[in-house]
Structure 1
Amino acid sequence: MIVSSVMADHPSWLSDGDVVYRAVRSGRSIWVLSGAQGSVRQADAELVSGVGDEPVVDVVDPATLDGPGDMVEVLRAAGPVARWRNPDLWDALATSIVRQVIRAGQARRLYRAFCRAHGDEVTTRHGSTWLFPTPEVVLDLADVEFESLGLAFKRRPLKAAAEAVVEFGPKWAELEPAALVDELQNVPRIGPWTAGATVADLTNDYALYPYADLAVRTWAKRLAPQRTWPDTEPEFARLWSRLAGSRLSDWTSLTLAWGVRHAHTSGTVAF
């Protein structure tokens, strides 16, 4: 698939030169996702083991955006952005828990360390990568294992989420996205931000993402510094929703993709 950039915001993405890659569980199968720079810019999914459907990738083209001209021009210049839906509900939820309250860089380090210590290794042609530990593995871990990796403050929410996924995972998989956002908040220590971020990761519907959070506010201000932006989340949410109109998901995802790319992190890799 030809793309302008791959949104690799999930902390499992690793890099090998001009290639970014990650492994994902999709039902009973494991896939390696990758994006490679060359004469043809492409995003690929390769089945590693098991049998199952290929993970879904969505492409958002800013050429079709309506909205403020100054912002639209910047996003259009960046070109279409591809993002794979996370096919693993448990990983999406656990990732959002790891991301709670802390900076993206720290969350990425903690996530990767936990995967290396307790997750399954997947060998790819780009190098090794690791899957997030299964719910069963997380439930069996002693407290000291979390403490040794700097994850002591994530132990309770991760274990509560693991218990819930084991019990309710099949039921959750049948829910509509908005209903899943509500259902996840019945798990201890899962609030609106974590639930919304989880479902956005699963579906690529960024209208469900907490679009007034610090990340969106930060990149919106840098995307259009000439504008006067509200400082509070409620005021920003109202303005952002009004500017985006019916394209709230696209505006939010494209702004986040533009932002992490310009932060010079591994969050989005432009080709």
Structure 2
Amino acid sequence: MRLLMCDHPAWQRAEDGTAYRVVRGEGSLWLVTWRRGDQPETRFLGGSDAAGPHMDVFVAPPGGHRLPAALSSALVALGPVGRVRNPDLWDAFANSIIRQVIRAGHARKLYRRFAEAFGERVETPHGPAWLFPSPETIVDLDDDAFRAMGLTFHAPALRAAALAYSERGEKWLTLAPCDLFEELQTVTRVGSWSAGATVADFLHDWSLYPYGDRAVRTWATRAGGTLWPDSESEFARAWQAATGAHLSTLTLLTLAWGVTHGDTG
């Protein structure tokens, strides 16, 4: 496979260039690896031996939208783009909370630092990997722990999310995308941005992703060389109108274009 989205901060790069990540889902652990040009591979590491993580493949539609021609051509040129669904709803939720109001590069560093400090270390043939701390671990951490990790601002939302997940997580796993999107926003300090990013990562419904955010605006402009509205709300309206029925796929592919051409930092 030419391109696999490795946007989640748990992805790491081994010395030989292999991208790898350990994922947790349904009581089991899996190692996912990928080398450019090859199909992603999964390896069962332990647990209940449930079905492994699922990969979806996205291809730019040739029509049925009103994107500028240059942007449409850039997305078509990507070819098939794969992305592994995050099988761990808790991880998807926590990562989306950390990502809110800060840049992607900084959020990635915070996630990794926190996972290495308080999460489970898993040894792989490519090097160590870390799982994000469990809800129970989050609840037990004091203010000093969050402060040391640079997560003082995020601590209230992470604690509220951990408590809510412990109480309602099993129900959330059964919900359809729109219902999960609404349910997550009942948690204190969780708004539409984090809820939408969570649903996109976990269920791959990118029509609920906060597509007005900086990343989509940046890459839509650079990939197509076309000016879009500057404000988040105006861009979101224009983007929804231009992408039409292909909102989910074209949003994901625009982010994928950004993965191959730079980073929003």
TM more than 0.5: yes
Counterpart for residue 219 of structure 1: 219
Q: CA deviation at 1:234?
A: 2.3
1:41 counterpart = 2:42: no
Q: CA deviation at 1:47?
A: 0.9
Taking a change above 3 Å as real, the CA distance of residues 264 and 238 of structure 1, as seen in their structure-2 partners, is closer
**Contact 1:65-1:247 at 8 Å conserved across structures:** no
Deviations 1:105-140 (A, max 9, x none): 111111001111110111111110000000001111
| Same amino acid, percent of matched pairs | 49
Distance (whole Å) between structure 1 residues aligned to residue 127 and residue 250 of structure 2: 34
Q: CA deviation at 1:63?
A: 5.8
The within-5 A match list for 1:171-182 is 171-182=171-182
Distance (whole Å) between structure 1 residues aligned to residue 144 and residue 38 of structure 2: 44
**Contact 1:66-1:72 at 8 Å conserved across structures:** no
Counterpart for residue 254 of structure 1: 253
Normalising by structure 1, we get a TM-score of 0.92
Taking a change above 3 Å as real, the CA distance of residues 95 and 65 of structure 1, as seen in their structure-2 partners, is farther
Taking a change above 3 Å as real, the CA distance of residues 133 and 239 of structure 1, as seen in their structure-2 partners, is same
**Contact 1:63-1:79 at 8 Å conserved across structures:** no
**Contact 1:121-1:130 at 8 Å conserved across structures:** yes
SS in 1 for 2:123: strand
Counterpart for residue 56 of structure 1: 54
Q: CA deviation at 1:64?
A: 4.6
Counterpart for residue 92 of structure 1: 92
Counterpart for residue 113 of structure 1: 113
Distance (whole Å) between structure 1 residues aligned to residue 182 and residue 248 of structure 2: 18
Counterpart for residue 130 of structure 2: 130
Counterpart for residue 193 of structure 1: 193
Distance (whole Å) between structure 2 residues aligned to residue 77 and residue 177 of structure 1: 29
Distance (whole Å) between structure 2 residues aligned to residue 135 and residue 234 of structure 1: 33
Counterpart for residue 11 of structure 2: 13
Count the aligned residue pairs: 261
Counterpart for residue 139 of structure 1: 139
Q: CA deviation at 1:144?
A: 1.1
The within-5 A match list for 1:236-251 is 236-251=235-250
Counterpart for residue 235 of structure 1: 234
Distance (whole Å) between structure 2 residues aligned to residue 33 and residue 116 of structure 1: 19
Deviations 1:81-107 (A, max 9, x none): 100111111100000011111111111
Query: Which shows bigger deviation, 180-189 or 145-154?
Result: 145-154
SS in 1 for 2:154: helix
List alignment gaps of at least 5 residues for structure 2: none
Taking a change above 3 Å as real, the CA distance of residues 245 and 22 of structure 1, as seen in their structure-2 partners, is same
SS in 1 for 2:205: coil
Query: Which shows bigger deviation, 56-65 or 184-193?
Result: 56-65
**Contact 2:24-2:87 at 8 Å conserved across structures:** yes
Distance (whole Å) between structure 2 residues aligned to residue 70 and residue 192 of structure 1: 31
**Contact 1:206-1:248 at 8 Å conserved across structures:** yes
Question: Moved runs in structure 1, 4+ residues, more than 4 A?
Answer: 63-66
Distance (whole Å) between structure 2 residues aligned to residue 148 and residue 222 of structure 1: 37
Amino acid at match of 1:48: L
Distance (whole Å) between structure 1 residues aligned to residue 244 and residue 2 of structure 2: 25
